[in-house]
Amino acid sequence: MTNPGLKKVLIAGGGIGGLAAALTCARQGLPTQLWERAAHLSEVGAGIQLGPNVTRILQAWGLSDALNQVAAFPERLQARDARTGALLGVLRLGARAKNCYGAPYVTLHRADLQGLLHDSAQAHGVDMKLGQTLQSWKTWDEGLEVRSVEGESTQADALIGADGVWSSVRQQWRGDGPAPFTGHVAYRALLPQADLPLHLRSKEVTVWMGPRLHVVHYPVRGGDALNVVAIVQADRPTPCQEWDAAGHAQALLQAMGAKSGSVGRDLMARIETVSGWRQWALHDRAPLTSPLEMAGDRVALLGDAAHPMRPYLAQGAGMAIEDALVLSQCLAQGQGDLRQRLKAYAEQRWARNARVQARAVRNGRIFHAQGGLAMARNLSMRLMAERVMDVPWLYGQGPQP
């Protein structure tokens, strides 16, 4: 390692991306401090999927045992027609993922992933300051001075914005306004599998595709719970754009067009098992076009602060973890001064992130297809399921720990 005399890397944001960055920077021997505005760490949402490109990083960070205790390891991903229930295609996961890509495909609760990253970061000596909301900073030749709303002040060599889609760091640095509403709304629920009828329990990842909607469910908490997500399209922005609103089953069924036949009996049986939903309006940004959008001077962005993306490739958290790894490698082992190392980080990451952003948008159109496009999708999946559903460029490539 060739640490360029760094005295402190300050990370804003204690979510998955921020904790991953704190952990890997500390593992590289970089003095690291994390600010999180919440007084207690908590993760909104429910389930999360991690492909082999991400789990190989977690394994290299010594988290295999912790991951094994909280994750589920689905054997396959299956796609079904939301109206007919017909099986469209299957992508084998399990042993195939390990054999092809050297690491497993896992599903787990977001809070469990956050917890194991938090515990490992603390064990590696990361200084965490909760209840600190970043307010402003000023830069000079030798570093930055950062202030919080609560009155905390500190000096750092670099500021890393890992503070999510509504990033304060991004707005103060780039000033490009809030991430726009996509027109897509997610309804999420977490169900104890023991409470479900046997035929509705699942150890697999299942995606139901229908006109202007899709539903995905998969096991979390070691298989004890089932995470269910229904995503529907809205014709225009609605009051439900608030991040975490109470979602109602009737509103979901109406948005899904259940009375018009968009949802068949098999999927409806699963929807009806949910007594309470949480509702998220989905926001994103256009795919990155330049490394200048991820780093400049002594500031860098990672994860949703840099490249919020739609969930149709299940890689939002994955790209944040990849960002964190590359950032720490560039800071600790890169060439040149701090600005050059941050520039190298952005240059290594922007194109891959942009590709994932664009592919996620494309997948959403395919998942929600209607008419002839839906018929073509179904036919191609029946004929070439594994070839169509697999993404070797994503799972088999990426940064190496």
202-226 confidence digits (pLDDT tens): 999 999 999 999 999 999 999 999 9
Phi, psi of 80 (to 5 degrees): -130, 155
Least confident of 191-200, 226-235, 286-295, 316-325: 226-235
The confidence score (pLDDT) of residue 61 equals: 98
The DSSP string of 215-279 is: EEEEEEGGGTEEEEEEEEE-SS--GGGSTTEEE-HHHHHHHHTGGGTSS-HHHHHHHTT-S-EEE
Cβ–Cβ under 8 Å, residues 284 and 179: yes
Distance between CA 248 and CA 325 in Å, rounded? Answer: 39
Distance between CA 22 and CA 224 in Å, rounded? Answer: 30
The confidence score (pLDDT) of residue 22 equals: 98
Distance between CA 344 and CA 2 in Å, rounded? Answer: 15
Distance between CA 10 and CA 324 in Å, rounded? Answer: 13
How large is the angle between the packed helices 371-389 and 338-367, nearest 10 degrees? 130
Does residue 158 register a pLDDT over 70?
yes
Does residue 337 register a pLDDT over 80?
yes
- What's the pLDDT band for 235 if we cut at 50, 70, 90? low
Beta strands in 72-212, from DSSP E residues, in sequence order: 76-81, 87-92, 106-109, 127-130, 134-140, 143-148, 153-156, 158-161, 181-192, 205-210
For tokens 């240059």, the residue is 347
CA angle, 81 then 385 then 370, to 5°: 35
The confidence score (pLDDT) of residue 334 equals: 86
How large is the angle between the packed helices 94-101 and 52-60, nearest 10 degrees? 70
Domain spanning 9-76+104-178+285-374+391-395, CATH class: alpha beta
User: Among 184, 187, 240, which residue's Cα sits nearest to residue 217?
Assistant: 187
Q: What's the mean pLDDT in 152-161? A: 94
Joined together, the tokens standing for residue 80 give: 């079904």
Give Cα 67 distance to the centre of its chain: 17
Distance between CA 395 and CA 397 in Å, rounded? Answer: 6
The confidence score (pLDDT) of residue 301 equals: 98
